[in-house]
Chains A and B, each alone.
Chain A
Amino acid sequence: MKPEMIATTIRNIPPSGIRKFFDIANEMKDAISLGVGEPDFDTPWHIREEGIYNLEKGKTVYTSNSGLMELRQEISTYLSRRFNITYNPKTQILVTVGASEAIDLALRALLNPGDEVLIPEPSYVSYKPCTIMAGGVPVTITTKAEDEFRLTPEQLEAHITDKTKVLILPYPNNPTGGIMEREDLEKIANILRDKDILVISDEIYAELTYDREHVSIASIPGMYENTLVINGFSKAYAMTGWRLGYAAGPEELIAMMTKIHQYAIMCAPTTSQFAAVEALRNGDSDVAEMRNSFNRRRRVMVDGFRKMGMDCFEPLGAFYVFPSIQKTGMSSEEFCTKLLYEQKVAVVPGTAFGESGEGFIRCSYAYSIDNIKEALRRIEKFMEQYQ
């Protein structure tokens, strides 16, 4: 096949920045890693057991396109009890293959060629390529360490044009660990309220918010009608491999997303859906326990970086710390490659999450305390050498 046969749009999308680094890191046999984007816990046993039970019973057929009614009902109850937002399980909730599918569906359902999508960066790797693949134009907004990587109203206002169709709100944020609190969201809402801009609020890390409660922008007065909430089971219930997420929002948008989902996917995996019902019904204490454990490790890691004199704002969500490495004078990629070869520690260059991540590294604390402490010791040695 001639390479030119590949669609130009797709050919022009750069491969994920994390991929390059992954290939190097994977070759190193004895490297210790702070590089992953998933919890270190196994899925709680009662949830796995529910999956096994349903497999045994022969629940191996398609579900409805939107997902099991039972599951949508539980999602609706969950969103209302946790975040005070109400959705009709029949018409306003779609169960997807991971939150990532929901992001893709939403952008495809919304964008006409040339429509602009505002994307705060650094942020998760898929927003930009999904926007491009849906024919839209990504407009990045660079959030800053001094603002704790929150999206400020001034920045938002400065980037809105006649063509702005969507704002992606990726909080709690991967890779920075930044969050948006109620007053931050209210300021954003004040700008958006009279505009026809749809907010895609990616709240996959909502349950991993520390020492305070997550607030969904959909619960801010006047925002419900123009917000699509995306969430899933991967991070809160340690279910990454089950590939299960969902979107909740305006009826018309969910209907159109369901149309794409129905032709491209049919339905999310049935076993995963049954397991997810159990997760929502009886998983609150697991979530609390994992959140507690992450919170303790978060403090150990932030403390470790600060003690070695690295600039590191306190992340209040997700399971990442995003320290600055600017004083080493190295680029993120150079730093990470050197650190990997010399001290055998894998961390992810901030640039994997957008150009604005230059000068930072993403370190995940979804590891055992011993692993974290050993990695910190090695990074300290490295820093002594290069600063």
Chain B
Amino acid sequence: MREEILEILEKNSRIEIKDIAIMLNTTEEEVENEIKQMEKEQIICGYNTLINWDKTKKDLVTALIEVKVTPQRGEGFDKIAERIYRFNEVKAVYLMSGGFDLTVIIEGRTMKEVALFVAQKLAPLEAVLSTATHFVLKKYKDHGIPFEEPHKDERMVVSP
């Protein structure tokens, strides 16, 4: 039940409770309770809107920073990750396997703004050994949804 609710919400967080109830053959109260409970348990952490900012007038630059750090005794990577994710500019932080330790996704208005943030805030952190900044030039697909023209229904209007 929970998993099914999550599957539906993940695709469309604006769907009405009563529709979820019909889709899953259960009551509205049941769905509402489950959602509230999952919000409390931080299984549902928020409701985002997926926006293609490229189509708006707003300037927005996204960068992916590869960060190498020295893990700290007793704290591992968590402490340094926290110091990084507390910055508002930082949209996401992931601990990675492989050639570097943390992926940091940063959004800013201009490339310069992002570059300065890395140079002034991120790189000087004591535990940070090195950074490599990669700017996103174009987003093709995000959160499972391609940023292209809406899919056209090419089926015949009526078929047997």
The answer to whether B157 touches A299, judged by C-beta atoms less than 8 angstroms apart, is no
A40 touches B23 (CB 8 A): no
Q: Are A369 and B19 neighbours in the complex by a CB distance under 8 Å?
A: yes
Quick one: which of A4-43 are within 8 Å of B by CB?
A: 16, 18, 21-22, 25-26, 28, 31, 33, 35-38, 40
Bound complex: CA A37 to CA B8 (Å)? 25
B99 at the A interface (CB under 8 A): no
Instruction: Specify which chain A residues have a CB less than 8 angstroms from the CB of B25 in the assembled complex.
Output: 299
Scan residues 145-180 of chain A and give those whose CB is less than 8 A from a CB of chain B. Answer: 174
Residues of chain A with a CB closer than 8 A to B159's CB: 18, 22, 35-38
> Contact: B160 with A16, CB < 8 Å?
yes
Contact indicator per residue, chain A 187-200, by CB within 8 Å of chain B (1) or not (0) = 00000000000000
> What's the Cα separation between A218 and B25 when bound, in Å?
32
- Are A36 and B19 closer than 8 Å at their CB atoms? no
Q: Total A-B residue pairs with C-beta atoms closer than 8 Å?
A: 56
How many B residues face the partner with a CB closer than 8 A? 16
Known: A296-B8, A300-B19, A369-B19. A36 touches B158 (CB 8 A): yes
B160 touches A25 (CB 8 A): no
Q: Is the CB of A33 within 8 A of B160?
A: no
How near does chain B come to A34, taking the closest CB pair, in angstroms? 9
How far is it, in angstroms, between the C-alpha of A83 and the C-alpha of B8 when the chains are bound? Answer: 30
Q: How far is the CA of A348 from the CA of B159 in the complex (A)?
A: 9
| Cross-chain contact B157 with A300 (CB below 8 angstroms) | no
B34 to chain A, nearest CB (A): 16
**A31 to B158 CA separation, bound complex (whole angstroms):** 11
User: For residue B7, which residues in chain A have a CB less than 8 angstroms away from its CB?
Assistant: 292
B145: interface (CB < 8 Å): no
Whether a CB of chain B sits under 8 angstroms from the CB of A303 is yes
Closest 3 CB pairs of A and B: A35-B158, A296-B23, A22-B158
Chain B residues near A (Cβ < 8 Å):
4, 7-8, 15, 19, 22-25, 153, 155-160
Q: Residues on A close to B: CB < 8 A?
A: 16, 18, 21-22, 25-26, 28, 31, 33, 35-38, 40, 124-126, 174, 292, 296-297, 299-300, 303, 346, 348, 352, 369
A–B Cβ pairs within 8 angstroms, 18 of them = A18-B158, A22-B156, A22-B157, A25-B157, A26-B156, A26-B158, A35-B157, A36-B156, A38-B155, A40-B155, A124-B160, A125-B160, A174-B160, A296-B23, A299-B22, A299-B23, A299-B24, A299-B25
